[in-house]
Amino acid sequence: MSDTTRERGATYRLYAIVWGLLLLGTAITVTAASLELGRLAILVVLAVASAKSTLVLLYFMHLRWEERLLLKLIVPIVVVVLAIFIGLTFTDVARR
Amino acid sequence: MTEHHAEPVRGRIGMWLFIGTEILLFGGLFLLYSTYRYKHPVEFHTASRELSRFDGTLNTAILITSSFTVAIAILALERGERRRTMLFLLATLALAASFLVVKGFEWGTKFRHGLYPQSPTLLARPKGEILYIGLYFTMTGLHALHVLVGGSALAVALRMVRRGTVRAERPVVLRNAGLFWHLVDVIWIFLFPLFYLIS
C-alpha cells in the first residue's frame, strides 16, 4: 500500500476544505460580477480564478507535495510564456 | 511503515508535459479572446447576455465538485479502500455527464435563437458580437471535447479498478486520468468568468 500520500498530508478533510474554498471563490466571483465595479471587475475576476486554479494545482493535483522541481515548474513556466504572448500582443493591439 | 518511496517520475512526467501543452492550446484561444474583447468591449458585454449565468455557475459547481470527488477516489485507492474509490469515481462520471447535459441545453437554446457559427441571425449582428459568440462556441466546444475525453479516461480507470488492474500498488492510470480531469476543471475556472461574468 502506498504510504506516501498519507505522509504528505493529503487527507479527505483537507480535500473537503479545498472544495469548500473553491465553492466560496465561485460565490465571490459571481457576486463581484453583479456589483458595478467597472474596470476593476476583470481584475477581481481573474484574481479569484487564479487563486482557485492555484488551489486545484497545489492540492488536488498534488504539486504541494511534488518532489520533482521540474514538474512543479511546468505550469508556472507555461503561464509565464502565455503572459508574454498576450502581453507582447497587446503592445501591438493597444496601439491600433 | 517509514519508507518514503517516491513514485517514479516516469509515471507522471508525460501527463504533466501534456498538461503544459494543453494550457498553451487554450492559451492561444484566450489570446484571441483578450484581443477581441479589448477591441469590442461593449459588444462583448451585450452578446454575453445571451448566456445564462445560472447555467454557467451550476456547471462551475459541478466541475469543482467532480475534481473533489476524483481526488477522494485517488486517495481512497491509495488507502486500499476499493469500494470508496469506485463510488467516488462513479460520482465523478455522473458529474461529468451532468456538465455535458447542461452544456447541451445551453447550446440548444442558442441554436433555437438562431445563434450558431455562420448563422444569418448571427452575421447580422455587430462584429464584436459575432466574435464573442464564435469564441464562445469554439472555446466551450473544445472544452466540452476535453470533458468527454477526460470522462472516458476516468471510465476506463473505473473499469480497471473494478478488475483489480488498478489498485493501491499500481495507481498510475487513475492518477493520470485524475490529473487530466483537474486540468479540465482549471480551464473551466477561467472560461467561466470570461464568458459568463462580463459586467
Distance of CA B178 to the CA centre of its chain: 12
Nearest-CA neighbor of A42 among A32, A31, A54? A32
pLDDT at A84: 96
Nearest-CA neighbor of B17 among A69, A74, A76, A85? A74
Residues of B in contact with A87 (CB under 8 A): none
pLDDT at B1: 37
Which of B35, B189, B192, B195 to mutate to probe the A interface, most A CBs <10 Å? B189
pLDDT, average across residues B122-151: 96
pLDDT tens profile B36-46? 999 999 999 99
Question: Closest partner residue to A2 among B60, B71, B78, by Cβ?
Answer: B78
Nearest-CA neighbor of B5 among A6, A46, A36? A6
Cβ contact, residue pair A78, B168, below 8 Å = no
pLDDT, average across residues B138-151: 98
First-to-final CA distance of chain A: 60
Confidence of residue A94 (pLDDT cuts 50, 70, 90): confident
The neighbouring-strand residues paired with B167 are B170
pLDDT, average across residues B79-95: 97
Residues of A in contact with B197 (CB under 8 A): 29-30, 32-33, 41, 45
Residues of B in contact with A30 (CB under 8 A): 53, 57, 197
d(CA B23, CA B17): 10
Q: Can you give the pTM of this predicted structure?
A: 0.93
d(CA B67, CA A59): 11
Nearest-CA neighbor of B98 among B136, B55, B138? B55
Cβ contact, residue pair B193, A29, below 8 Å = yes
